[in-house]
Amino acid sequence: MPELPEVETVARDLRGLVVGARITDVRVSWSKTLRSQDEGAFADAVVGRAIVGTSRRAKLVVLDLDGGLDANEQPLPDDGAAITIHLKMTGQLFVVREAQPEDPYVRLVLAFADGRELRFRDIRKFGRVGVAWRDPATGDLRGELGGAKTFKGFGPEPLDPGFTARAFARRIRTRRGRLKSILLDQSFIAGVGNIYADESLWAARLHPLRSAQSLRRGDAARLYRESTRILHEAVLRRGSSIDDYTAPEGDGEMQERLQVYQRAGEPCRRCGRPIRRIVLGGRSTHFCSWCQRLPKPEQAANATILKGMEPKPGQRFVAEDGSEIRRGPRWTEIGGSDGALGVPTGSTRRASGTARRSPGAGRIGRAEQTRRAAATRRAAARASQRATD
């Protein structure tokens, strides 16, 4: 599912395409795409208004609207109205000429006065479009058409300059539960999902099942530093084009830089041991059980989840030349000593990261097949939306 960097990219790509466009008509072909499920009310709220800005809040694309025009074509006062779009699993946005044939996966269309259309294409139909109003005092989204409360409880934006390491540490200290679940909780910080939670925890060398309560000051600081660094880089690289995510101006390239996400069984890029996969709260979680240690006192409470770990612990690994690998670099050699588990500071020499191969490497083939199929789907989606003129 598109997360902060992907949604940010979509919002930025749209800016040059839709700002200034006035909405003249709305077409909805799947009524559940509308949060209010009320096409008449949605059209009343947006038709006649122009888009004046595009931005992102959490995982929502936000299209800010002007106040519209009165019967004499005079501008009405700005009331802070905005269209919100949650892409969910397969949502895509394209701006095309109205003459462009519409494919069967287009669920909602905003027609513009200049003869173009913004089309919301969504194969799996989980995406949602709504109308909301900004609070004049804070500028944040609040009331919503249909009375839904989508934004209630959104946490701070991790890339907001005001969201400091200190603010992060203060926030996480009050939390109970496992780190992975906390990072996914939109009320903790907004916009982080499965991909960037796994990547941040691997980079910070923190086990996804570790409890927030056990974090030391250095751990929280490292998690803040690594998560913001990764999110910044992902925005620069236009997000990770995994599955159906593509932006109006094309795919992202962050997928090339991911270290653990969907790499189960492949060697950890820090220590060479296989990346593990567990299921936590119905979501796949990827980590390195060597670089990301679970403190002893927490192991018993997580035994059931860890039992489902793949590849299994103790599974033997062989190097490229067929010899069995008995020992990888020591914990201190992979930089695991600077407080990650509260052990005294020792050598932090980085391991050379020897590649090793898992005997159960069949998974890699499937993962690669899935990636190729998704790339084909994205290319087809873009081709079907390419302007014909």
Of positions 291, 294, 340, 381, contacts Zn ion by CB under 5 A: 291
Is residue 283 annotated as a catalytic residue, yes or no?
A: yes
Q: Which contiguous run of DSSP H or E holds residue 246?
A: none
- Check binding of 290 to Zn ion (CB under 5 A): yes
**Min CB(350)–Zn ion separation in Å:** 12
Judge whether 32 and 88 are in contact, CB under 8 Å.
Answer: no
Judge whether 21 and 113 are in contact, CB under 8 Å.
Answer: yes
Of positions 234, 271, 278, 381, contacts Zn ion by CB under 5 A: 271
With contacts defined by CB under 5 A, name the span among 135-143, 176-184, 287-295, 361-369 that binds Zn ion: 287-295
Q: DSSP letter string over 19-61?
A: TTPBEEEEEESSGGGBTT--HHHHHHHHTT-BEEEEEEETTEE
Which of 3, 117, 199, 333 is catalytic? The answer is 3
12 contacts: CB under 8 Å, gap ≥ 6:
54
Nearest residue (CB) to Zn ion, 97 versus 350? 350
Which of 15, 269, 283, 330 is catalytic? The answer is 283
The two beta strands, 116-122 and 91-97, are antiparallel
Is residue 274 annotated as a catalytic residue, yes or no?
A: no
Of positions 288, 340, 341, 374, contacts Zn ion by CB under 5 A: 288
Nearest residue (CB) to Zn ion, 61 versus 340? 340
- Collapsing DSSP states into helix, strand and coil, what is residue 120? strand
- Check binding of 260 to Zn ion (CB under 5 A): no
Nearest residue (CB) to Zn ion, 93 versus 271? 271
- Check binding of 203 to Zn ion (CB under 5 A): no
230: which DSSP letter? H
Which of 56, 57, 59, 128 is catalytic? The answer is 59
With contacts defined by CB under 5 A, name the span among 86-94, 128-136, 143-151, 291-299 that binds Zn ion: 291-299
* C-alpha span between 368 and 296 (Å, rounded): 35
**Min CB(60)–Zn ion separation in Å:** 35
* C-alpha span between 103 and 199 (Å, rounded): 35
- Catalog residues that contact Zn ion under the rule CB under 5 A: 268, 270-271, 288, 290-291
